[in-house]
Structure 1
Amino acid sequence: MSMVVAAVGVHVLDTHVLGIESIPAGSEGQLVETIRMSPAGTAGGTAVVLSRLGATVRSYGAVGTDPVGDTLLALLTREGVDVAGLVRKDSAQTSASVLPVRPDGERPAWHCIGANGAFTLDDLPADVLDGVTHLHLGGPEFLGGDAAAELLARARAAGITTSLDVLAPGDPDMLAWIAAALPHTDHLLPNDEQVLGFTGAATLAEGALALVAAGAGCVAVTQGARGALVATADGVTEVPAYAVEVVDTTGCGDAFSAGYLRGLSLDRTPAEAAALGCATAAQVAQGLGTDAGSYDLAAVEAFARSAATMAG
């Protein structure tokens, strides 16, 4: 089935430094294995992976007029993402992160919010929803719940499937800030720490169900090496992860979102879509950055079938 996505919100240029075990003292230097740049963000990273999985993707958001923005636009374009909807602002630099990657794949981060903090609904063209089958809003906290709700409601009124991915850490005040958007969200895509932080629930299942009760149609939660948990009004389903050798966990959440949303477009159930999300995240975990490797939908599905055969 054809899938046309408007990926709205946070776009970031990530710089990964692979082979970091410690930060050098003073002004000392250190040789590393790799330094690499990749497009990222809860909208930008998801856009890249959706494009690889066969969706037509249009990005909307804000970047600076700096060379960082030039690089980010070039990398998105190389991945087949339409960047005409990314406005350029003189008032802020392009959002960027530096990620020193530890040998186990974990990574701390230095991040500059930049132009993502200057993005408003006024930056969207009037035809943003024309021909779109899916609206994915990454980072609704930058717009605020009321503005996010306005955009999502417009999309749903047009028969468009909506999804939401929050960038900020889980906190009850953050949930209150974006709460108005939840009743207009078909699929909420948080991680486990966000769910527990937003809700204060004792278990992930309880927290996910609380978010369904707050208005989200379905909550698909990533939980790292444990895979995903899918909650709807009908109950909760656990979806296991795939065992792979982890190089870098950067972008795995965005990759899960992309695989999950692509699965929905193929008329799969939320649990089946989450399985495709986990298989997609496994591709990204084995390389450096959201755009690591050369996978497509056929390759991800073949990987999932092979893993299932080996497990059986």
Structure 2
Amino acid sequence: MSTTISVVGVHVLDTHVIGVESIPSGSDGQLVETIRMSAAGTAGGTGLVLARLGADVSSFGAVGDDMTAVTLLALLAEEGVDVTGLVRKGEHQTSSSVIPVRPSGERPAWHCIGANGAFTLEDLDPAAHLADHVHLGGPEFLGGAAAGELLAAARSAGATTSVDLLAPGDPDMLAWIADALPHTDYLLPNDEQVLGFTGAADLADGARALVDAGAGCVAVTRGARGALVVTRDEVIEVPAYAVDVVDTTGCGDAFSAGFLLGRAQGRSLADSAALGCATAAQVAGGLGTDAGVYDLASVEAFMAVTPTR
């Protein structure tokens, strides 16, 4: 029987523009290599990858009543994600980003928060709590008290929980979502967020501080250096896989998906983080979380033959 997972929170339509050497002046134009759309967000992107890996995924959040929503929902549904839990907010546009990727791989972004900022617990279908696992992407939009209420309800229904944030690391942001941490089994930040939230000079020390704040486990992405997994009892370093990087957009969401599926399947923390790194490598080689063709079997085959960095 497949693992059932609810992804709650941030859903975004990304538009990737590859080969942007500069922003044209005035009304001039510029030819680029590729323009491509993908489903993204700390809930939407993670949910899409989880579905590709074989989980039974339902999305919960808010989108606008616009053609951006039509595209986003179609991209998710095509991958097998149940999108009936995404409510329409007619007074807001669907959240979207435009990501110009330079030849160097740098990727600044323009982002519109849109309907993600209007999503509240009143919009949440109670069915979201009934999955094996509930993943909250973007607790900063709900605030810690509401996020804690959501995660506590999920745990009461027997689910495990996880949290990923979009916001940059800042001590005030950590204070804003602090009420959610005691109800979080897995916190999934990146290295810059951990150091920013805690003010720590050492990544492991920063992750321990987040465990002390209530998170059961902190699995930190470190870009080309892989991941660091920290609990109250251990610190585990997991290397990244060697891959030719095209675009790193969505790699964090892909890591989260691989890691969470691994834990749902009963894999160790180290093996789950390795699955997360291998899944992120699939995304790094293309544009967006739905880049290329991969499933759990192909990711595991990739792990068997690909060296780590």
> TM-score, normalising length from structure 1?
0.97
**8 Å contact from structure 1 (residues 199, 210) kept in 2:** yes
* Partner AA of 1:61 in structure 2: G
- Within the alignment, does 1:161 sit opposite 2:160 as a pair? yes
Q: Could you tell me which residue of structure 1 aligns to residue 148 of structure 2? A: 149
Any unmatched runs of 5+ in structure 1? none
C-alpha separation in 1, matches of 2:223 and 2:104:
13
Whether 1:244 and 2:246 are equivalent positions in the alignment is no
Deviation at 1:105, TM superposition (A): 2.7
The match for 2:188 is: 189
**Does the 8 Å CA contact 1:95/1:113 hold for their aligned counterparts?**
yes
Matched to 1:279, the amino acid is A
Quote the offset at 1:31 in angstroms.
0.3
Unaligned runs of 5+ in 2: none
CA distance in 1, matches of 2:127, 2:108: 38
Instruction: Give the alignment of 1:1-312 within 5 angstroms.
Output: 2-130=2-130, 132-308=131-307
Distance 2:229 2:176 in 1: 23
CA distance in 2, matches of 1:125, 1:264: 25
Assess if the C-alpha contact under 8 Å between 1:104 and 1:246 holds in 2.
Answer: no
Give how far 1:187 is off.
0.2
Shift in Å at residue 28 of structure 1? 1.0
Q: CA deviation at 1:134?
A: 0.4
CA offsets per residue over residues 59-85 of structure 1, 9 Å max, x none? 000000011111101111111100000
Deviations 1:174-206 (A, max 9, x none): 000000000000000000000000000011000
Q: 1:161-185: per-residue Cα shift (whole Å, max 9, x none)?
A: 1000011000000000000000000
Identity across matched positions, percent = 74
How far off is 1:128 after superposition? 2.2
Does the CA-based 8 Å contact 2:12-2:41 persist in structure 1? yes
- Helix, strand or coil for the counterpart of 2:177? helix
Amino acid corresponding to residue 298 of structure 2 in structure 1: A
* Deviation sequence 1:253-276 (CA, Å, 0-9, x none): 000000000111110111110000
Q: CA deviation at 1:129?
A: 2.0
TM-score, length-scaled by structure 2: 0.98
Count of residues in Structure 1 that have an aligned counterpart in Structure 2: 309
Give the deviation of 1:22 after TM superposition. 1.2
Moved over 4 A (4+): none
CA deviation after TM superposition for structure 1 residue 126, in Å = 2.6
Contact 1:152 1:181 in 2 (8 A): yes
Root mean square deviation, CA, Å: 1.1
| In 1, Cα distance between equivalents of 2:53 and 2:33 | 29
Distance (Å, rounded) in 1 between the aligned partners of 2:71 and 2:277:
29
Deviation larger for 33-42 or 19-28:
19-28
Which AA in structure 2 matches 1:51?
A
8 A Cα contact 1:103 1:247, kept in partner: no
Contact 1:14 1:38 in 2 (8 A): yes
What secondary structure does 1:128 align onto?
helix
Secondary structure class of the residue paired with 1:127: helix
How far did 1:127 drift?
A: 2.5
Q: CA deviation at 1:24?
A: 1.2
Q: Which amino acid aligns with 2:110?
A: W
